[in-house]
Amino acid sequence: MYEKIIKTDLGADVKIIDLRTDTISRPTQEMKEAMYIAEVGDDVYGEDPTVTELERRSAELLGKEDALFVASGTMANLIAIMVHCSQRGCEIISGDKAHTYRLEQGGTAQIAGVQTAPVKNKDDGTFSLDELREKIRKNPDMHEPITSLIIVENTHNLCGGKALPLDWLEKVSSIAAEHNIPVHMDGARLMNAAVFLKVTPRRVVRDVDTVCFCLSKGLGCPVGAVLAGSTDFITKSRRIRKVLGGGWRQAGVLAAAGLVALDTMIDRLRIDHDHAFKIAKAIHQMKSNIFKVDRAKVQTNILLMYVDRNKVDIKELQRRLQTVLDTDSVRASVRCSSLKFDCVRFVLYHEITAEDVQLACDKIQLVIKEYDEIFNLENYDTVA
């Protein structure tokens, strides 16, 4: 539809509003200053005091015995899987929309040599407890792998940033305990879940054995994630981190930003959640038959806008939102991502201001109106 009029040049009066993901968030000035003056040492030898302090603070925040600073959430999840699944023939159970299953390049199998038994995720990020029970293979027949780990994701990315219900997590933990199976939480956006649920991070992870959270997403740090669990688990994790190439040296320059994040960036996540809801409200107000959003399901900083695939090409929609035509009344280039075939994703973070959000709302509404008018005209011509 728009292929012949899409432009790549943006004028000086155009504001770029990048809502593709929160990983593109940049460190705050306070973080930069802390990084500049950070006391450092060789972390492989356990001699970086800033890293040690970040790990101590993180373990305390989560109510776990110990913690490990690693390069990314993907690395943290892989380490956890390799520690929990330490023998050949292991199998993990996770949701079929889980990040570890769908978006980490199959590292579970590719590197860890572990098979995944997926269970169907519900819209809220949970999965059936009955199906979980059916998937568990503990002390199985010699032909079968051994269930060695259950993974949950909180908040759930592909389900639109949903925070897992605390009572559901408790039930998963209870089932796992019956079979002596550990539970790992991929908590990349764990702090968003805690803010939405209005509880402490410690409470969110109370019923899991191990957990990781990212510093480089909504918390705004340039690099890093934290993996936490028992002292024995972290000792083993430190060894696995080394073989994966994650044994960094003067990492205190990065850990310093993490310490600032723990002090200053968690409570403010509520602003990002409010911004996401405002965009959802703007989409809903258009009452479009082509573009839909369920405001009641917008909980944290991720918003999914579903589209009628019979009328809208996702890539074309992304290009139009990003393009500013000479005739556009809204001088904003809105960038979004698409991880599913039937929707685009908007993700909010600390650098997106209230003014940016209003501009994004105006631009999204402008594009929705264009599509609606075109298809209403086509329907009119067909009837005529």
| Confidence check: pLDDT of 4 > 80 | no
| Confidence check: pLDDT of 3 > 70 | no
User: For position 354, what pLDDT does the model report?
Assistant: 98
- Domain borders along the chain are 15-24+268-383, 29-264
State how far the Cα of 216 lies from the Cα of 224, in Å rounded to an integer.
6
Give CA angle at 161 (160, 166), nearest 5°: 125
Q: Which residues contact 72 (CB under 8 A, 6 or more apart)?
A: 214, 216, 223, 224, 225
Phi and psi dihedrals of 260, rounded to 5? -65, -40
| Confidence check: pLDDT of 383 > 50 | no
State how far the Cα of 182 lies from the Cα of 151, in Å rounded to an integer.
9
pLDDT band at 154 (very low <50, low <70, confident <90, very high): very high
How distant, in Å, are the alpha carbons of 136, 166, 306 from that of 133?
Answer: 5, 19, 32
SS (H, E, C) 206-220: CCCCEEEEECCCCCC
pLDDT tens digits, one per residue of 127-152: 999 999 999 998 888 999 999 999 99
Instruction: Identify the architecture of domain 15-24+268-383 in CATH.
Output: Alpha-Beta Complex (3.90)
pLDDT band at 189 (very low <50, low <70, confident <90, very high): very high
Cβ pair 106, 74 in contact under 8 A: no
User: For position 2, what pLDDT does the model report?
Assistant: 44
State how far the Cα of 97 lies from the Cα of 87, in Å rounded to an integer.
26
Global pTM?
A: 0.94
| Confidence check: pLDDT of 166 > 60 | yes
The pLDDT of 183-208, averaged and rounded, is: 98
How distant, in Å, are the alpha carbons of 24, 68, 108 from that of 236?
Answer: 31, 10, 17
Phi and psi dihedrals of 15, rounded to 5? -100, 125
Q: In percent, how much of the chain has pLDDT > 90?
A: 92
Q: Which residues contact 161 (CB under 8 A, 6 or more apart)?
A: 155, 189, 192, 276, 298, 299, 300, 301, 302, 303, 347
Q: CATH number of the domain at 29-264, please?
A: 3.40.640.10
